[in-house]
Amino acid sequence: MPAAQKQRLEAAELSQERFWAEHVVPRKPGLFAALSPDLAHLPALWTDEHLIAAAGEARVEMEQRGSAAEGFGKGPDMRVLLTFGEVLRRGAAGDASLYLTTQAVPTAPDGHPAPYASPIAELARDVPLVPSVMGLLVPQSINLWLGAARDGSSTGLHTDYHDNLYVLLRGRKRFRLYPPQAAKHMYTVGAVAKIHSNGRIVFKGQGDVLPDGSEAGEAAQWLARRAAETELAAAEEAAARDEPGAAKRLRAAERRLDRVLEAALGEDDWGAIDDFDALEAPQPSPAAAAGDPESFSRVDLHLPDAQLKRQFPLFPGKAAALECEVQAGQMLYLPAGWFHEVTSYSTADSPTHMALNYWYHPPDNLHRGAAAAMEQPYTQPFWPAVWEGRRREYEARHRPAQEAQQQQQPAAQAGVAQQAGKPLLQAGRPGRGAADEQAAAGQQSEQAARQHPALKERRSARRGQLVPITYGLFGVGRRQHLAAFVDVKGRKRKATGR
């Protein structure tokens, strides 16, 4: 068999339409030749002086390595807590032992992880909540990556569960990429159970995870609850109008909602939990887990080719990788499921390398083409409704950045052009159409509850305490984070050093 030819991903100027048609829908990585208009101000704005003034006192958890020959991501024993200002000063002095990666985040009031922690929390006013090119994709998290490495520092080969927009602000990065379809030849720590058509990889033991990353049973439960609450609100209105049969309809609607809530409470075994404060505590970042997570590959790309072939005979080889060089001022889009190893370099004009990244729940409504996917990225209303329930809270924190974006000139100065006179979607603001209807439908029961206080008054005190009208309480976010603190019987775990 002839040796695989090395492939390179070249930078291109991508309009939003072209980006969705050539990359989001076919699930292919894409390299933007320049930053989008709503991010173009960041390289000049985010000097060390500005970052220290805005977030220098923030406490951040840093990965630490013993020597330049070692990699990062070696578990909790290799992490230290520092102020962000100290990290910047040490990086400017060439300290290559530290790397800022994902941070522990608290659980938000809606039961899902907060989208970011420090230092992004202190810098939120500088960045758009949702870069315009990403349209109606629902954000999962925003992170800052920072280190110093004249000779380069690399991550292990791994895959992520979310679509990634990687915005390089300083230094340069080399990505070596392998498609999700190669997952069963990547010698992952976890056993691959399923590869969805959109590239989302599910490992054994993760449950029935849907292509958009939600858990099937919990998404169905959420939909059932939303339908029950909508019907109860309608029954309340009918009763207020003294419609014939309204009392019977109201009793049936209350019983329906009772069954949905009791089923959810019974499945999660809330009564056995004796420490609800633990549910609101910051969650450990993925890199802080003991050992490599299941999404990491055992393949070490620094080994000689012959040794790689002996140890990992099914691995496609280094030459099969799609290679990509990302320079400061460029953006890389990486769909969920693509395996990647990243080597980061400082440059002559910057002693540190720095990147901002946005992770998004992977879209799954891709079979009808780019226009339809842009209008409605998800087949289910779960993530759009969750986002609609929390969007306004976070928009307020990012308002200055959004206002600055609105004042910018059209996109001729950046790599993301306006298309045929049609402006790009505003950051964080859904456009009109099917996705609006999805999210609006998810808000009906909440609006009805505000309009009809009697709805809450009729519910038991127990339900009122445990089941507030927020999206995600029984969703995948709450369950995944509950598992970090309690075992399967609902007892609080003992400290494990995480």
CA distance 458 to 456: 5
Residue 224 pLDDT more than 70?
Answer: yes
Residues 261 and 286 in one domain: no
Asked whether residue 493 is domain-assigned, the answer is no
Give the CB-side neighbour count of residue 221, counting CA atoms within 13 A: 23
What's the pLDDT at 458?
44
How large is the average pLDDT for residues 267-285? 46
Closest CA to 270 of 25, 39, 490: 490
* Residue 20 CB neighbours (<10 A): 25
Top pLDDT among 347 and 278 is at 347
8-state DSSP, 289: S
Contact, 203 vs 191, CB < 8 A?
yes
The terminus-to-terminus CA distance of the chain in angstroms comes to: 46
The whole-number average pLDDT for the span 340-366 is 96
d(CA 309, CA 316): 9
Q: What is the DSSP string of 188-215?
A: BSSPEEEE-TTS-EEETTS-SB-TTS-B
Measured from the Cβ of residue 208, the count of other Cβ atoms closer than 10 Å reads: 14
Question: Of the candidates 413, 447, 471, which is a domain's last residue?
Answer: 413
Is the model's pLDDT at 439 over the cut of 60?
A: no
CA angle, 459 then 441 then 449, to 5°: 25
Residue 425 half-sphere exposure toward CB, CA atoms < 13 A? 20
For 348, the 3-state DSSP assignment is coil
- Cα four-point dihedral sign 276, 277, 282, 287: negative
In a domain, 371, yes or no: yes
pLDDT over 60 at 270, yes or no: no
Side by side, which strands form the sheet with 11-12?
A: 11-12, 30-32, 331-334, 163-170, 353-360, 139-147, 98-100, 59-64, 79-83
pLDDT for residue 283 is more than 60:
no
Number of domains in the chain: 2
Q: What average pLDDT does the segment 266-276 reach?
A: 47
Q: pLDDT at residue 346 above 90? A: yes
Q: How long, in residues, is the chain? A: 498
In terms of Cα–Cα distance, which of 173, 194, 196, 183 is closest to 316?
A: 183
Structural domain includes residue 494? no
Average pLDDT, the chain: 79
User: What secondary structure does DSSP assign to 103-129, as a single string?
Assistant: --BPBPTTSSBPS--TTHHHHGGGS-S
Instruction: Please tell me the predicted confidence (pLDDT) of residue 109.
Output: 81
144 and 114 in one domain? yes
Provide the pLDDT for residue 153: 83
- Which among 297, 323, 299 is positioned nearest to 313, based on CA atoms? 299
Separation CA 207–CA 200 (nearest Å): 13
Task: Report whether 359 contacts 164 (CB < 8 A).
Answer: yes
Are residues 391 and 274 located together in one domain of the fold? Answer: no
For β-strands 30-32 and 331-334, DSSP reports them as: antiparallel
Name the helix (H) or strand (E) containing 36.
none
Q: Number of C-alpha atoms within 13 angstroms, CB side, residue 227?
A: 10
Cα dihedral value 141, 144, 147, 152, nearest 10 = 60
Q: State whether 109 and 182 are in the same domain.
A: yes
Arithmetic mean of pLDDT, 317-331: 96
The token pair that represents 67 in the structure block: 């020597």
pLDDT at 223: 85
Higher pLDDT, 208 or 392: 208
Whether 435 contacts 376, CB under 8 Å: yes
pLDDT at residue 459 tops 80: no
Q: Which residues sit opposite 81 in a β-bridge? A: 61
- Check residue 234 and give its pLDDT: 94
Do 437 and 301 belong to one domain? no
Residues spanned by the domain of 345: 7-208+282-413
Which residues lie closer than 8 Å to 412 by C-beta, 6 or more apart? none
Give the pLDDT of residue 218.
84
Same domain, 197 and 243: no
104 with 154, same domain? yes
Confidence of residue 428 (pLDDT cuts 50, 70, 90): very low
Q: Could you tell me the pLDDT band of residue 305, with boundaries at 50, 70 and 90? A: very high
Residue 27 lies in a domain: yes
Q: Tell me the range of 77-81, 153-157, 169-173 where mean pLDDT is highest.
A: 169-173
Same domain, 82 and 148: yes
- pLDDT of 211 > 80? The answer is yes
Whole-model pTM: value is 0.77
Q: Is residue 425, in this structure, part of any structural domain at all? A: no
Do 57 and 114 fall within a single domain?
yes
Please provide the DSSP assignment of 317-334 as one string. -GGGSEEEEEETT-EEEE
pLDDT tens readout for residues 25-66:
999 999 999 999 999 999 999 999 999 999 999 999 998 876
Q: What angle do CA 20, 384, 331 make, to 5 degrees?
A: 35
Among residues 383, 413, 443, the one where a domain terminates is 413
Q: Which range in 107-121, 214-228, 326-340 is most confidently predicted, on average pLDDT?
A: 326-340
Asked if residue 55 belongs to a domain, the reply is yes
Asked if residue 424 is part of any domain, the answer here is no
Over 90: is that where the pLDDT of 324 sits? yes
Residue 456 has pLDDT above 50, yes or no: no
**Percentage of residues of the chain with pLDDT beyond 70:** 71
At 454, which amino acid appears?
A
Task: Count other Cβ atoms within 10 Å, centred on residue 74.
Answer: 17
- CATH number for the domain that contains residue 377: 2.60.120.10
* Highest mean pLDDT out of 122-131, 144-153, 268-277: 122-131
Model pLDDT, residue 320: 95
Mean pLDDT is lowest, of 110-119, 181-190, 326-335, 398-407, for: 398-407
Is the per-residue pLDDT at 287 higher than 80? no
Q: Which two tokens stand for residue 137?
A: 């994709």
Tokens of 76: 């909790």
The mean pLDDT value for 226-238 works out to 92
Those residues whose C-beta lies under 8 Å from the C-beta of residue 197, and which sit 6 or more positions away, are: 211, 364, 366
Task: Quickly list DSSP for 366-424.
Answer: -TT-HHHHHH---SSSHHHHHHHHHHHHHHHHTHHHHHHHHHSPPGGGSSS--BTTBPP
Question: What pLDDT is stored for residue 418 in this prediction?
Answer: 37
Is cis: bond before 363, omega within 30 of 0?
A: no
Q: Where are the beta strands (DSSP E) in 272-417?
A: 322-327, 331-334, 339-345, 353-360
Question: Positive or negative CA dihedral for 63, 66, 68, 72?
Answer: negative
Same domain, 405 and 345: yes
Q: Is residue 241 part of a domain?
A: yes
Say yes or no: 111 and 84 in one domain. Answer: yes
Question: Same domain, yes or no, for 151 and 107?
Answer: yes
